[in-house]
Structure 1
């Protein structure tokens, strides 16, 4: 039997393979990774020259050819023809036109598409994380400013969808700030995993050439090279850490967004959205639709879903270099960043402009008797009762007020006197004025002075800490961005110096 390999006259690429795989990969590279390709070629060339693997004349000619390609070839206009396998080979083909195959081929000494690809993807993620972290920090600042502005503004806090206790809008926003701060920390942690260069791993095991991996990492703006060369081409935890952090960020942001949707409903109405963020119904002129909140909700869910899909794609893949983690997957992941940035920008603007409707808050507090918990607590402190007995008296008062459709402050004292005497067999020392103070929402908040509470002292201390935290976040990001800019400047200087040797 004849070996089929000996009689195979087919030519790569098969037309269907070209259209379904190679063309989309080429388009993804030209749309997303051109700048990273250029930086990698230059950094690798500088390293080859500095280590003596290429002499000055060779490096200078290659540098000049690379610059000519940049000037003469516009990637955005390229249409994939199948003449070369991918964007990498297109650049190599262009080099051969200008330098001949021998000199052009020397640029690829001691590297592989394996280490190039993962370096491309990491550079793409680093740039997007820079932007995303910056926008998350801006949202953090907007939330802190809103919490400072609303630190004394009463709202109804809900549990299980029902009015529970009064607090302040600033106290609520402070809780959101703390979760966001932890999510920002996760983004920085993900960045640190991305920030290790795979270049120099070559296909799997590095190279017999005396390359300098640390130098390439430095020129590309990485913190250091990733140590194990197998890990450079097999480990995808830089992907899972990034999209895991993104997934959690938008899972968490979706929850207060849902609260805002609920709180702006006609029936609750404790949050007012200004006209600039309201759309009017096309047929019902009375309707004010705060649709930006709906867009925030579904865009946060889209971001969460896209980030989760990236984790799903990595599931049960082999621990080796594989296409599952590469071009088309990376391009799909970038969509999560696109929707993420929209949510962060819009939410920061919304938080800066929404207001609490004090009349609706007061009405909802009155109708729901949510200050009654403090009456039970005060009976323990002032009358020496057990909490359970105080709770039962307070419950009887709340039932009576709700049944009469009354107001706890104005109508609760008589039921209180009756319930207290029936439960204890004695009269209370709490007069009507004191009772009115004890069941007021202002008093409820003011006495909750414990660490983390809504009273002025603990909340102001918390806000001061958040402000410091925001400044620290901004400084950390600035350090990363400045290091990347310095690396780009150094790479340009060293590359330009090579051209003088041509």
Structure 2
């Protein structure tokens, strides 16, 4: 390889020491730490394909296979220290091959491939593994949420809008809303995996090759679902990166909103969530304080994950539509940090959701003080008394205003103001006695009468939980099919490569 222009005399030697330390060494360390196994698999799959297509005869392919096997046993990538003798990890393996079987034979392994298609294949192999790992943790959280929703399908809570008590519902109904978002987030991550699961190998530098390579065969041996069709796209279209980190960004943006609610609900003033002692830290100076700090850690770790995922999108912004370093080694390594914090959030959130409980006394107190069942009083007046909703709403508003002014609560302090408001507006007496009034404004009635599709009552909640479990089962089956395919292809690659070494 020549580095000099024919018209310029240059006696400098590659690599420049500063370039070596600031660029080449970090890239080498990233490759050995994250992609050594990917290099190994790509070399073997490409070699098997070269032999099966007749591009390499058995004798040549066998020499290369034995040398690769020897390198695999002789070199532990984790112990390697970058010296600058070679440009990168790829050239290190090629150097080792040459030292064992000579330049001519060793160089034949690189027939019809480039570092361009190799690099993107490496990144996709790594991303697939990380997506599968993260998706598994997301499914664990999903199951924990479903179990908690089912366990709390009748557990009353105060639902808030704009930071104010709004209506009663159940904790199970609230969690079901979070479950549905998480299901969609897992689907988005699965769609990103589908994009990642297309092999770039065989694109070579840009335009494939004049050799009769079999791109589909290499894709199979590497566990991909298929080769990515357009060869330019293989080395230029980094949407496999942007789709992955977009999905992660959205998942943790959405989880962060639920985490923020939990933080609010554990405050002393609200107190409707109780966090057990195992997840509470005590102040070093104020012994009365129970600090549910795991929720704070969830919040900032979810934000860190979102920020790291968004960083990947920012790196890709305004880059040229071609092979470029912006999308490669060090950027991919930056993205892997998002996976690391993401996994911590999913693990901790699943544990938290499995252990927290609702404080019924605080919920009851807050419901009574806030008059949040008053909407059902208005609805019932429409159904029972035949009023228009606007008339009923005006009566209900007067009742709530009176109860709040007296510092009372709706069931115990609301009937007399209700009778007065009703008579004043309608010029007649209400049909409701005090016992009926108490029933109508009870939170239990409020919830059970809302039995429409998607509501908090028992029947729609049972249907919802069943649907969520069905979705979880579908995710599990899909993940198992993918894992089985990966395992089968890994076994086939091992068998075909071992045959080339003559060990069978």
Using the size of structure 1 for normalisation, the TM-score is 0.99
Q: 1:39 & 1:76 partners in 2: Cα distance?
A: 17
Aligned pairs for 1:369-408 within 5 A: 369-408=371-410
Q: Does 2:272 match 1:263?
A: no
Alignment match, 1:172: 174
Secondary structure of residue in 1 paired with 2:160: strand
Q: 1:331 & 1:386 partners in 2: Cα distance?
A: 63
Question: What is the deviation of 1:486?
Answer: 0.9
Figure out how many residues of one structure are paired with residues of the other and give that number. 500
* Contact 1:139/1:348 (8 A) holds in 2: yes
Secondary structure of residue in 2 paired with 1:156: strand
Using the size of structure 2 for normalisation, the TM-score is 0.98
Q: 1:32 & 1:315 partners in 2: Cα distance?
A: 24
Secondary structure of residue in 2 paired with 1:164: strand
Question: What is the deviation of 1:438?
Answer: 0.4
Alignment match, 2:334: 332
Secondary structure of residue in 2 paired with 1:167: strand
Q: Deviations over 1:197-233 (max 9, x none)?
A: 0000000000010100000000000000000000000
Change in Cα spacing, 1:501 to 1:272, as seen in structure 2 (3 Å) is: closer
Q: Does 2:186 match 1:181?
A: no
RMSD: 1.0
Alignment match, 1:233: 235
Q: Deviation above 4 Å: which 4+ runs of structure 1?
A: none
Question: What is the deviation of 1:4?
Answer: 8.5
- Pairing partner for 2:299 from 297, 300, 309: 297
Q: Deviations over 1:133-186 (max 9, x none)?
A: 111111111100000000000000000000000000000000000000000000
Aligned pairs for 1:351-430 within 5 A: 351-430=353-432
Secondary structure of residue in 1 paired with 2:12: coil
* Contact 1:59/1:501 (8 A) holds in 2: no
- Pairing partner for 1:348 from 322, 331, 350: 350
Alignment match, 1:273: 275
Alignment match, 1:47: 49
* Contact 1:303/1:340 (8 A) holds in 2: yes
Question: What is the deviation of 1:501?
Answer: 8.1
Structure 2 unmatched runs, 5+: none
Alignment match, 1:200: 202
Alignment match, 1:13: 15
Alignment match, 1:153: 155
- Pairing partner for 1:63 from 65, 68, 71: 65
- Pairing partner for 2:286 from 280, 284, 306: 284
Question: What is the deviation of 1:80?
Answer: 0.7
Q: 1:228 & 1:152 partners in 2: Cα distance?
A: 54
Q: 1:176 & 1:79 partners in 2: Cα distance?
A: 47
Structure 1 unmatched runs, 5+: none
Q: 1:473 & 1:23 partners in 2: Cα distance?
A: 40
* Contact 1:57/1:501 (8 A) holds in 2: no
Alignment match, 1:321: 323
Change in Cα spacing, 1:501 to 1:278, as seen in structure 2 (3 Å) is: closer
Q: 2:20 & 2:436 partners in 1: Cα distance?
A: 82
Question: What is the deviation of 1:6?
Answer: 2.9
Q: 1:498 & 1:100 partners in 2: Cα distance?
A: 18
